[in-house]
Structure 1
Amino acid sequence: MVRTYKRKTERAKAPPDEMQRAATAVIDGRSIRSVAAETGINRNTLQRYMQRKEKGITTIAYGGTALAKRVFTPKMEKELADHIKKLSDQFHGLTAEKCRKLACEFAKRNSISVPINWENGLAGNDWFSAFLARHHLSWRIPEATSLGRSTAFNRTTVGEFFDNLANGMDRYKFPPNMIYNVDETGVGNWEHGTK
């Protein structure tokens, strides 16, 4: 089950520069209520921002909490995502469970404390879904690729195939209605779109 959070309120949605301008107006002597009404910022959000600003905290909204709950730094996450992509490119696709296990091992080897639900040796489902979204990855069940097929697919053999195809087309002058697609899925005539 993949969970996607949907906002239930418009609170804490103001951009940082707008919040700063509103805070400056309040510091200049205007009331929080009047500044909030003028700028369209939620009054409670602006009041909380002013209280945090007095304590020296300049972040807005709840982003600080979300960042604090992150397991890996952005650099470490990118390293993990690049490793998973590299494995996939080398025909070693990982299942979701193996990716979650890899993330947990990565955290342990780097002495990073993990959430309680990672104690079983697997990263959490929610973390995994968010990780895929943050790095624009999609997950599919990997299919086995034979060694012969994966090693035969290279620049030389593909170039040789298309050279042979061009030579055959030039030599025999096939009309379009005589060009067929023949593969594992069946035989189809390209011009008439039949199979």
Structure 2
Amino acid sequence: MVRNYKRKSNRGNYGNNNLSLALKLLNEGKPLNTVSKEYGIPARTLRRHRDHKVQNPGRLQFGRHRQIFPEEVEKELKQHITEMERRMFGLTSKNLRRLAFDVAQKAGYDHPFNKETRMAGEDWLKSFLERNGLSLRQPQSTSMARIVGFNRPKVDQFFDLLRSIFANADYDSPKIWNMDEAALTTVQKPSKIMAEKGIRQVGKVTSAERGELVTFICAMNAAGGYLPPLYVFPRKRMVDVLMKGSPPGSVGYVTESGWSDG
């Protein structure tokens, strides 16, 4: 006959607050076993924290990883990261790892960071990003002219002009349009294919090796209406076959550069 015995555990659901209160009672002279039963904390755990045999007495730590910086320091790091991103000078992962090492060194925090590379580890970076709701993103290239032109006086000037236009005329949603243009490549990017090992070069048929960009212009109003797209091809003469497969009503034009010039 086989019997299944369940091992009784003395471990209760306690947090840092209960642990701190239990240690306070121990320091006041209350018996260890009494405090252990009252707060549901194992006597061995209380003894280790009381005798300072842990790195942070009175504070729970699960796993081998520990938080290097206090919460207020991590909040300052997060604020610095978001401010740099908004100023178009976002930090890379290596920038942040070097910054974490410098902060830990100058503030005198006990840390396991690499002193040869003078950077925090990738495991610290991953944990820091998860704790603070951050992630690595691929930024879009933004010219210096656009950054300099996007400032408070220019934005205020734009909205003042827009407000005066709406005050002089009654524009409803079908009369408010937005137009934008994008570039389309004429060469598709081939996907990975199966090939024999050891071959130095593998090819796949495309329309060309180096494609040219075709300008694609769209317009849509605030009511949800839209105009058929307009294509600008980098050619001298327009050929009807270029519009094959385009949406109904599309329009095609040509310029030598392929850019919209009028």
TM superposition score category, shorter chain reference: 0.5 to 0.7
- Residue deviations 1:70-122, cap 9 Å, x none? 2x555654554444333223211122233224434555677777536564454
Task: Name the CA shift for 1:27/1:91 in 2 (closer, same or farther; >3 Å).
Answer: same
Task: Name the CA shift for 1:109/1:47 in 2 (closer, same or farther; >3 Å).
Answer: closer
SS of structure 2 residue aligned to 1:174: coil
| Distance in 2 (alpha carbons) for counterparts of 1:131 and 1:174 | 49
The reply to whether residue 95 of structure 1 matches residue 92 of structure 2 is yes
Do the aligned partners of 2:32 and 2:43 also contact (CA within 8 Å) in 1?
A: no
More RCO (CA 8 Å, sep 6+): 1
Give the corresponding residue for 1:8. Answer: none
RMSD across aligned positions (CA)? 4.0
Do the aligned partners of 2:15 and 2:60 also contact (CA within 8 Å) in 1?
A: no
List alignment gaps of at least 5 residues for structure 2: 1-10, 183-217, 228-262
Q: How many residues align?
A: 174
Do the aligned partners of 2:113 and 2:120 also contact (CA within 8 Å) in 1?
A: no
Identity among equivalent positions (%) equals 28
Give the corresponding residue for 2:246. Answer: none
**What TM-score, normalized to structure 1?**
0.63
Q: Which has the higher helix share?
A: 1
The reply to whether residue 126 of structure 1 matches residue 130 of structure 2 is no
| Distance in 1 (alpha carbons) for counterparts of 2:61 and 2:12 | 8
| Distance in 1 (alpha carbons) for counterparts of 2:72 and 2:133 | 15
Task: Name the CA shift for 1:106/1:141 in 2 (closer, same or farther; >3 Å).
Answer: farther
| Distance in 2 (alpha carbons) for counterparts of 1:56 and 1:112 | 18
Give the corresponding residue for 2:163. Answer: 166
SS of structure 2 residue aligned to 1:145: coil
Match for residue 48 of structure 1 among 44, 47, 50: 44
For the pair shown, the structure with the greater C-alpha radius of gyration is 2
Within 5 Å, give how 1:4-23 maps onto structure 2. 13-19=13-19, 20=21
| Distance in 2 (alpha carbons) for counterparts of 1:104 and 1:53 | 29
Do the aligned partners of 1:181 and 1:189 also contact (CA within 8 Å) in 2?
A: yes
Do the aligned partners of 2:177 and 2:221 also contact (CA within 8 Å) in 1?
A: yes
| Distance in 1 (alpha carbons) for counterparts of 2:100 and 2:17 | 36
**What TM-score, normalized to structure 2?**
0.50
| Distance in 2 (alpha carbons) for counterparts of 1:75 and 1:110 | 13
List alignment gaps of at least 5 residues for structure 1: 1-10
